[in-house]
Structure 1
Amino acid sequence: MTSQQHQRAAGKRAFITGAAGGLGSATARMLARQGAKVFLTDIDGDAVATVAADINRQAGEKVAWSAPQDVRDEANWERLLAEAALAMGGLSVLVNNAGIGSLGAIGAIELNEWRRVMGVNVESVMLGCKHAMAYLRDAQPASIVNISSLAAFKVDPDYTAYNTSKAAVAALTKSVAVECARQKIDVRCNSIHPAFIRTGIVKPFFDKLGEEEATRKLVRGIPMHRMGDPDDVAYAVLYLASDESRYVTAAELVIDGGARAV
């Protein structure tokens, strides 16, 4: 583990959704390495328990807990946040990372699919912010980090529901941030907007086209000509979760290899 004097998240207590793999797992490991306690949730309870156990093996102490969670279930949010606060001695960071992709242009998307995407990608973020606020208020300075996407700004019409959901996350983030600031609550709220990151979300493209061809297609609009790695996002979460970002709120942190600029 990192030496105490260099632990950028020392004393932080973070609740992270969608933490079984990809960005969520990388974020949990990053925060734990940097001194935070972490409570991990995911719809796949077995997989997220494995991540938590691995973190504890590496840390040599009890710093990680886990639980299965359907982020669309409000009662589940209330119960798990209480459980997390009890286990960690409070809650000072919320990372709303859980999300799903969806393919379908406006003429093809089914209403049930639209509602599924909005439930996981938008309503869950609202529920997390709403029910975590009392705990975060008690742990000021505190931070909410919402994982959105470059798709909030640069859209592909074949991903109508996904684009819309990620733009909604950006707007919701600003609403929460400004409300906290107006009430003089030291709870910051920011969104992160990655382009394609090398996680399970790109696996269907690899399976369909092969990794080399899929990568070529995915990065053709990215000036740096590569996908990001999970730690590229995890480091951004670390910054926003830490006290290094005390004057940063309502911000949109874009991690895209320059794609938004072209």
Structure 2
Amino acid sequence: MTGEGGEFARLKALVTGGASGIGLATATLLAERGARVACLDLRPDAAPEPLLGFAADVADDPSVREAVAAAAQALGGIDVLVNNAGIGARGTVESNPDDEWHRVLDVNVVGIVRVTRAALPHLRASPHAVIVNTCSIAATAGLPDRALYSASKGAVQSLTLAMAADHLREGIRVNCVNPGTADTPWVRRLLEAAEDPTAELAALQARQPLGRLVSANEVAAAIAYLASPLAGSTTGSVLAVDGGMQGLRPRPAADRPD
């Protein structure tokens, strides 16, 4: 069920949304580095071996509690929790009705609460307990047409810091990653729905200083770093994986001296 050796050898990891995109890349990498990995997902059968799949809807508390308990039993405990499950949203504050605001916040924010709450008894029993939340650069950068999504991810970043403070004395580290626009199934669906997918992709690439989308594997590597025993002094940290989008202000190519 695990890779040979690696810094995650003998550790047990739980990844939500682990059957696709960033979640699948993360679960696969943790397994390659020695962890036993369980994925909570709406489509658990999509998680390939050696990953274990468990059906769960992070918006439904009984579903979460049942799946976390089953995963912990199958793994023999939980050392690493990756709260990755989430949904996207487009529009300004006027674009979405109240029901959609409640739905997105329920999945992206309260979903983390539900899964963490169910996993905490297992994490408290671990000598290497860590939680990594998948946040977004939308938490710190004002992006157009992303009011609801940005609000949910801003809450995730604040929640991460509060959780890190609350569980510090219990020996549980809590961090988050802030990906830029990543090449995920959700982004690909947005591109397919655009009037001009090629132009939309070029615009998304251009707003990241590296000039391309972030890969799911790059985000997974950042999550694995934060979850690793090698990062034992890292807690309450926010790691941007955004192609320089948050901190860099490069000059346009036309303004650069020859």
Same fold (TM over 0.5): yes
Structure 2 partner of 1:61: none
How large is the Cα RMSD of the aligned pairs?
A: 1.5
For 1:85, the aligned partner's letter is A
Over 3 Å counting, the alpha-carbon distance change for 1:143 and 1:115 in structure 2 is same
Structure 2 partner of 1:250: 236
Alignment of structure 1 residues 1-262 onto 2, 5 Å: 3-4=4-5, 7-44=6-43, 48-51=44-47, 54-56=48-50, 64-181=51-168, 184-207=169-192, 208-209=194-195, 212-261=198-247, 262=249
What secondary structure, in the 3-state scheme, does the structure 2 residue paired with 1:171 have?
A: helix
For 1:30, the aligned partner's letter is L
Shift of 1:202: 1.2
For 1:104, the aligned partner's letter is G
Relative to structure 2, which stretch is displaced further, 142-151 or 76-85?
76-85
What secondary structure, in the 3-state scheme, does the structure 1 residue paired with 2:240 have?
A: strand
Shift of 1:107: 1.9
Report if the CA contact (8 A) 1:106-1:157 is conserved.
no
Over 3 Å counting, the alpha-carbon distance change for 1:209 and 1:20 in structure 2 is farther
For 1:133, the aligned partner's letter is L
What secondary structure, in the 3-state scheme, does the structure 2 residue paired with 1:254 have?
A: strand
Report if the CA contact (8 A) 2:14-2:82 is conserved.
yes
Question: How many angstroms apart in 2 are the aligned matches of 1:125 and 1:2?
Answer: 28
Report if the CA contact (8 A) 2:205-2:213 is conserved.
yes
For 1:196, the aligned partner's letter is T
Report if the CA contact (8 A) 1:195-1:255 is conserved.
yes
Q: What is the TM-score with the length of structure 1 in the denominator?
A: 0.90
Structure 1 partner of 2:253: none
Shift of 1:2: 5.4
**Which string of whole-angstrom CA distances, capped at 9 and with x for unpartnered residues, describes residues 219-250 of structure 1?**
22211101111110111111111101100111
Question: How many angstroms apart in 2 are the aligned matches of 1:94 and 1:173?
Answer: 13
What secondary structure, in the 3-state scheme, does the structure 1 residue paired with 2:82 have?
A: strand
What secondary structure, in the 3-state scheme, does the structure 2 residue paired with 1:55 have?
A: coil
Structure 1 partner of 2:255: none
Question: How many angstroms apart in 2 are the aligned matches of 1:55 and 1:240?
Answer: 24
Runs of 4+ in 1 over 6 A off after TM superposition: none
Question: How many angstroms apart in 1 are the aligned matches of 2:7 and 2:218?
Answer: 16
Report if the CA contact (8 A) 1:16-1:40 is conserved.
yes
Shift of 1:260: 0.4
Report if the CA contact (8 A) 1:30-1:238 is conserved.
yes
For 1:255, the aligned partner's letter is V
What secondary structure, in the 3-state scheme, does the structure 2 residue paired with 1:124 have?
A: helix
Gaps of 5+ in 2: 250-258
More helix by share: 1
Question: How many angstroms apart in 2 are the aligned matches of 1:97 and 1:203?
Answer: 18
Shift of 1:186: 1.0
Question: How many angstroms apart in 2 are the aligned matches of 1:79 and 1:69?
Answer: 8
Shift of 1:209: 4.9
